[in-house]
Structure 1
Amino acid sequence: MNLSKFTYAYERFGFVGFLNVLLGKIGIKFRLDNQLIRLISYHSKRVEKLTKKIIIGGFYKGTKLNLNKGWSRLDGASKYLGLYEYEVQDEISKIQKNRTIRKKYFVNIGAGDGFHALGLLKKKYFNKAILFEKDTQASDLLLTNAKINRLKNNIELFKEAKINFLNDFSLTHKLKDCLFLIDIEGDEFKLLNAKNLKLLNKSILVIEIHDFYQNPTPLKKKLKKYFKIKTVTTGMRDLSKYKILNEIHDNEKWLVVNEDRPKKMEWLICLPKN
């Protein structure tokens, strides 16, 4: 038995950490929340209540959002504050404000609860969004969120984007008119093969890279054939303007805006070369 995992877990989270490793070793999926998780979850619920489930900052301010409690238990506060993936919001906003490169359609592969798609539609960055989400619970929630924001007629919602989905997609929507946001937990390495990238060579791509699943170098090499690539990552967060955070202890305030990521993440902003 590898005792280093027990030692590491105990040093970080005490007996709860030790017990969670033990549960995993004997095949039990249930895990106890450590104090850190409980703090983040508590503040996330508090921010959700104070904001009344409306995004209060960032580029999507004013968008109403019900969150997937399975996915957004720990990053919910950052979404309601408008800080979640702020760099992605900023990059798409800049693109759409540039009349020479802006796109007609927003295509979100891995749309989740609709945070980006509905926020962009609500603020008139796009008039139409084509969304792909394979998780039934998430897609049902996305439809609910579209209804409460009066955006149901502005979206097309599909299930999983299969490897050959562009063959059918290009029959109804010109790919050169599309900005793609791709967040599919490592499947970007499979979906963005040579054939599909050739079809997408006039589109704009924003890709979240999950390099803990696969080495991204081969994908980046293929992308450079057609695109000028800019890399962005999570940057600074200014919490001073959020009055609802004023009474939270400084040690806990920064936990509120976490995005529940396993490591530092990168997004590739891919603009066509021609």
Structure 2
Amino acid sequence: MKGFRFTENAFWGGHSDTATKIFGLYEQQNLGILSNSDKPVLVDIGAADGFWGVGLVSTGNFEKSVCFEVSAKGREVIRETAEHNGVGDHVTVFGDALDNTAENIASVAPTPVTFSF
């Protein structure tokens, strides 16, 4: 996540997760999967403040991301963070992932997307 820049408007967890994010310790179980992906599009369900959805696009690990976040405040912060990192046109933000999810993803990533958990 070297080069990713936070904004002042923390949404998820306040500033309590900031140190773990800065030192690369945040959600370590995801690091190996996400940083070594050969997929062009990241689908982030429950994107919170966009740490993964924006961060992995801004650092070049993914070309684009599709972020789903139910909170209006979270969606606002994701968009702000994407603009702040110069990738606003590569990050698409939707509300909940309950309705039209496949169509929403296909609108951004028209080629088949493989999901792994």
Q: Shorter-chain TM-score category?
A: 0.7 to 0.9
Q: Which amino acid aligns with 2:72?
A: T
**Higher RCO (Cα < 8 Å, 6 or more apart):** 2
| Partner SS state of residue 157, structure 1 | strand
Give the secondary structure class of the aligned counterpart of 1:176: coil
In 2, the alpha carbon distance for the partners of 1:142 and 1:170 equals 17
Indicate conservation of the 8 Å contact 1:89/1:116, yes or no.
no
The TM-score normalised by the length of structure 2 is 0.83
In structure 2, the partner of 1:83 is 25
Whole-Å Cα distance in 1 between the matches of residues 2 and 69 of structure 2? 23
Q: Aligned to 1:130, what secondary structure does the other structure show?
A: strand
Distance 1:69-1:135 versus aligned 2 partners, 3 A rule: closer
Contact 1:61 1:82 in 2 (8 A): no
Which of 88, 111, 130 is the equivalent residue of 2:66? Answer: 130
User: Residue 101 of structure 2 aligns with which residue?
Assistant: 165
Paired with 1:112 and 1:70, the residues of 2 have a C-alpha distance of: 6
Superposed, which structure 2 residues align to 1:1-274 within 5 Å?
60-66=1-7, 67-68=9-10, 71-94=13-36, 96=37, 102-166=38-102, 168-169=103-104, 171-172=106-107, 173-174=109-110, 176-177=112-113, 203-206=114-117
SS in 2 for 1:204: coil
1:106 counterpart SS class: strand
Instruction: Name the Cα RMSD after superposition.
Output: 2.1
* Percent of aligned pairs with the same amino acid: 25
> Which structure 1 residue ranges, 5 or more long, are not aligned?
1-59, 97-101, 178-202, 207-274
Q: What's the TM-score once normalised by structure 1's chain length?
A: 0.38
Structure-2 separation of matches of 1:108 and 1:131: 5
Q: Please, which moves more after superposition, 75-84 or 113-122?
A: 75-84
Return the alpha-carbon distance in structure 2 between the equivalents of residues 127 and 106 of structure 1: 8
Quote the Cα distance in structure 1 between the aligned partners of 2:31 and 2:39: 15
**1:164 CA displacement:** 4.9
Code of the aligned partner of 1:86: Q
Q: Secondary structure at the match of 1:65?
A: coil
- The aligned amino acid for 2:59 is K
| CA offsets 1:153-197 (integer angstroms, 9 cap, x no match) | 11111111115522x2365334733xxxxxxxxxxxxxxxxxxxx
SS in 2 for 1:162: coil
| 1:87 CA displacement | 2.7
Contact 2:64/2:90 (8 A) holds in 1: yes
How far is the alpha carbon of 1:118 from its aligned partner? 1.6
Following superposition, the deviation at residue 139 of structure 1 comes to 1.1
Determine which structure has more spread, i.e. the larger CA radius of gyration. 1
